[in-house]
Structure 1
Amino acid sequence: MSHQLGRLVSEILHRYFGEIVQQVGKDLFTYGSKPISMIVKTTGLPRIKVVESLRTLLKFHLATFEPSINEVNADYKLNSDNVLLLIRYPRYLLQMKSKFGSEAELLIEELLQQATCSATVLLVTIANKYKDDKDKNITMVKLKDTFISLATAGYIQQAPVEEAKEGCEVPTLVPVATIVPDFEIRNLLQAMTKNISEITDNVYWEVNYDRFHLDFRDEIMIKAVTRRIDENAGELLLHLLRLMYLSSPPWGAESNPTPVVEIRECCQRVAAERPLLNQHFEQYLKVLEENGAGFIRRSGDAGGGQFLVRVRFAAHQLLRCVVEHCVTERLGSNAARIFRLIYSKKYIEEDDIQKHAMLPNKECKELTYKLLEEHFISVQPMRKAASAGGLAKAIYLYHINLHEVANTIRELCYRSLHNLCRRGSHERRLHVRLLDKQRRVRTIVHGMRLRGEPQENIDDVEETLTPPELAVLKNVEKRLKQLSAAELELDRTLFILKWYFMYP
């Protein structure tokens, strides 16, 4: 675990859960797997506070536990990858709203806030919360149908159940197969009149992050092909990816071969929307194979009649683009030219770099050494055999170890994300009074509009925010929006890096 990752994880836990959970999470990150007694000793917190913090971390799948050696106590361990997913929540909600509508967004948002929840409680909570909101027009029928659609598509799944082992006092969580429930609208409407605590539903549900990540991966690949060729080629890749799910593991390095006949049938179903794709199907397939960044290839075992998707190679290509962009941003376009030259040649001497890069010798050497210093390139010394009567000569070959470069980029992303989180926290602390006042005014105005009060009364409440305060709030919101957008962009880069590291 890196130092930069530890700082980032600590800052994220502080933002979402407060100082006490941050201390417990930081202690687990630093020391690894520990029992409660050791956490209390090293953090100096009361035992009840440590237990509450661990309960919170376990509830949101930010920590795991396993039996210790004596199988009496449990050892707890922080799941840093899931902590980083907290930044990705806005992307999950946007994905739901664009694919399934506002009802799906509300369901996923509530489930993310609750971590795990029974289906009946989830539907009743949302229905009661928005029953008076005429703008959203939320009904129990819509919520029920959307929940079933999300469960069928795999975006939500049943939470693991507890299972006790014989002779071990620490239980284990066992995943269970998701069974799509069958709701009775009458029972759901009756549950709306009850207290939440009175609802008896013992099947709990949680968000399936992996299903969202598959969508993000497909979206990145399709956008890359669309920019490189056109929208029809992106549509063709979309059909290939959908067919891949039917016969291959979703995160497999390469999909199983798909016959051209099946691909053509899928394209013919959207012939009205994509007439050019259907008309020039063979040409688009050939262009995608030859100029689609290597995302697909023809299967050699089937005489050219089948194609497969190269998921691992796509991650490799996208990572290379990320690295080139990072080099350009940090060291300039000339440094990126040198980086691309070394990557294309695999191994190259310094004199050959100056010759092929077409840059002044001094600038070329300076940029090469900067790339070496930033760990974007590596150097390999080679010794030539000594000639008769001469001395052995050493040459130095520059090359790129993409795995090491990916680790370098990941550390840079962790550091940048930590700085963004700290800056956002500073902005909120600096203007906490104004932000609280704005939140209260918006809440009051929203309630007044739901009650149908006159616009004059609403204007009076809104005028409690003076023009100077509104100007300050506008600047603060603009800065916070920029910081949030930067966080999501860095998270997208981290997603590509994690995708790359999935494959050996």
Structure 2
Amino acid sequence: MSMQCSKLCSLIIGETFGMPVQSVVDVLLQKGPSPLRHVLTSMMKSMPIEAIHGALKTLIQHFVVNFHVNSTTGETIYSVNHEKTIEIMRYPRYYAHAEQMVGPVGREVLEEIVQSGLVSISKLIYICGSRVMKSNPDVTEAVLFEQLNLFQTTAMRLAAKKYIVIVPPPSPDNENNEADPGAHKDSHKLPAVDLKVLLGKLLKTNETKLESLPDANILWGIYIQQFHAELRNSMVYQALERKFKSMIDPRVIQVVIEVGLERHQWEDEGAPVSMHEIKDRIEKMPDGLATSKHISEHLEIVEDDPMRILSRLSNQLGGHFAFNMKTAVSELLWNIIDKIITEKHGFHALRIFRLVKASGFVEQDTINEIGMVPGKEAKHLTYKLVDDHFINIKEVKKTYTTNAPPGKTCTVFYVDSSQIVRSLQEYCYKAAYNLKLKSKIEQAKIKRLSVKEERITRILVNMTNKNCAEDQLNEIRELLTPPERGLLLRYQFSSGKLLSGTIQVDETLFVTELYLKYHGKNFPKKK
């Protein structure tokens, strides 16, 4: 794990779980995989042993820390899972996606599952019900039962869409941690829950023991792979829509992707989909009849595109089409790299990069001639790209005879996709860390004023509920002075920009992860 990645992981853990848990992770990041005694030795003066155990338990339950038993010493070794840690940064996107697909209650239920790490459905419904009682102490028994029923129905919808799944608890051998929890056929089947029993426990304020419930040992968690697959598909749809604009209806390609990758979401190429099946699905969509009359033209436009992301496998039944997701992800990544190079070094640098990429191995003189860039500028930009790890240098012999003098060599330039992807990930780690740290500093500056605003807002809500006069409400509003309001507005603007930047960085990082997932097996291992 690189230094930039470690710094980002530490900051994410601190934001999510708090400073005490962050300090435990910092020890594991500094020392690497370590037994418990090393962690205790490093932290015994700053934290009680019980707090250290509690922090590790929380991290393990959220799969942020892995553990295994050393076969030689018999000690349990703990290590930070940086991939799971960085995925925490993506949770707001999961919540927004779940809300879009299932509704606001779906977001609320998903947030509770993520907060718990692993939780049974009965306990999940109980927690959501207790929040309803806390926010509305006067809620009636009938309304509360309806809410519990709504939470159960929403959990069933989340499971049906494979957003949540039965997850085995973390184990020392890491077999459960590495296996795909969604591969089992019953992994998305909700157990029967007696809502009347849960209602009785909620009405008894002292009743919090849920271990006796039938599904207490069936734990559910968020299914990251499903969210990743749908976010990947969404990015591809948006890219195709930008590329072809009004030439095609993106829903046509959407059907090919969803049907072709229905069973195996992470195949390089989807299963063949017939024209007849595409037409049937399009006709069932809103305003789909008009599109269904021109489906063949839409498919031909994408099929003839130089990207070659759609291929016709046969001409039976109007044709069978397959979508190549591996190629689509590659195009997404190269498009991002092109934009980065253009923003940093300009169009001439992008022209040089594309020339080197297309040529394989090319000398500086060839770049000057074919790149249509002045010699001095071409050399300067080429070495700028080398410094930023977009281009690599290699020295080769001009002649391959055994008697050739050692000086007869030339310098050639080439593109190494694995190095570019890893360098891009490092840039993303550094950018995400800086953005989050800046946001944290800005939040600390405005913390006291934010607390004051929240307190005034609560007072205004209570006074409004009591039908107080408008003059009294204005007096309370004036407690927040115009300069303070201006400061809050500036903070909201800057925090919005920082959040937008973090989302963009995370999207780039997500594309690099997708690229490594499809192409990583062909890359040499990172030293």
State whether TM-score is above 0.5: yes
Contact persistence 1:4–1:414 (CA under 8 A): yes
1:438 alignment counterpart: 453
Stretch of structure 1 that moved more, 358-367 or 213-222: 358-367
Q: Secondary structure at the match of 2:79?
A: strand
> Which residue, out of 288, 301, 309, partners 1:287?
301
**Aligned pairs (5 A) from 1:104-503:** 104-130=106-132, 139-161=147-169, 177-195=187-205, 197-199=208-210, 200-201=212-213, 202=216, 203-230=218-245, 232-247=248-263, 249-270=264-285, 272-291=286-305, 293-299=307-313, 305-385=319-399, 393-446=408-461, 458-503=473-518
Contact persistence 1:379–1:396 (CA under 8 A): yes
Stretch of structure 1 that moved more, 427-436 or 290-299: 290-299
Partners of 2:81 and 2:309 lie apart in 1 by 32
- Which AA in structure 2 matches 1:141? N
Stretch of structure 1 that moved more, 172-181 or 114-123: 172-181
- Count, aligned residues: 496
**Aligned pairs (5 A) from 1:58-97:** 58-69=60-71, 72-97=74-99
Partners of 2:114 and 2:191 lie apart in 1 by 20
**Aligned pairs (5 A) from 1:22-37:** 22-37=22-37
TM-score, reference length from structure 2: 0.85
Label 1:349 to 1:69 Cα distance change in 2 as closer, same or farther (>3 A): same
- Which AA in structure 2 matches 1:21? V
Partners of 1:450 and 1:117 lie apart in 2 by 37
Label 1:93 to 1:446 Cα distance change in 2 as closer, same or farther (>3 A): farther
For structure 2, the 5+ residue unaligned runs are: 139-143, 522-527
Return the offset for 1:230. 3.5
Contact persistence 1:386–1:393 (CA under 8 A): no
Label 1:160 to 1:395 Cα distance change in 2 as closer, same or farther (>3 A): same
Label 1:334 to 1:276 Cα distance change in 2 as closer, same or farther (>3 A): farther
Label 1:14 to 1:97 Cα distance change in 2 as closer, same or farther (>3 A): same
Stretch of structure 1 that moved more, 360-369 or 231-240: 231-240
Label 1:73 to 1:382 Cα distance change in 2 as closer, same or farther (>3 A): closer
- Which AA in structure 2 matches 1:181? P
- Which AA in structure 1 matches 2:365? D
Contact persistence 1:379–1:399 (CA under 8 A): yes
Contact persistence 2:68–2:172 (CA under 8 A): no
Contact persistence 1:222–1:238 (CA under 8 A): yes
Label 1:405 to 1:162 Cα distance change in 2 as closer, same or farther (>3 A): closer
TM-score, reference length from structure 1: 0.89
Q: Secondary structure at the match of 1:485?
A: helix
Label 1:450 to 1:336 Cα distance change in 2 as closer, same or farther (>3 A): farther
Partners of 2:82 and 2:274 lie apart in 1 by 41
Return the offset for 1:309. 2.0
- Which AA in structure 2 matches 1:197? T
Contact persistence 2:368–2:374 (CA under 8 A): yes
Return the offset for 1:299. 2.6
Stretch of structure 1 that moved more, 2-11 or 492-501: 2-11
2:41 alignment counterpart: 41
Partners of 2:171 and 2:31 lie apart in 1 by 28
Return the offset for 1:397. 2.3
Stretch of structure 1 that moved more, 51-60 or 9-18: 9-18
Partners of 2:409 and 2:507 lie apart in 1 by 42
Partners of 2:132 and 2:62 lie apart in 1 by 25
- Which AA in structure 1 matches 2:239? A
Return the offset for 1:9. 1.0
Return the offset for 1:294. 2.8
Partners of 1:339 and 1:299 lie apart in 2 by 34
Return the offset for 1:384. 2.0
- Which AA in structure 1 matches 2:168? P
Q: Tell me how large the CA RMSD over aligned residues is.
A: 3.2
Contact persistence 1:152–1:180 (CA under 8 A): no
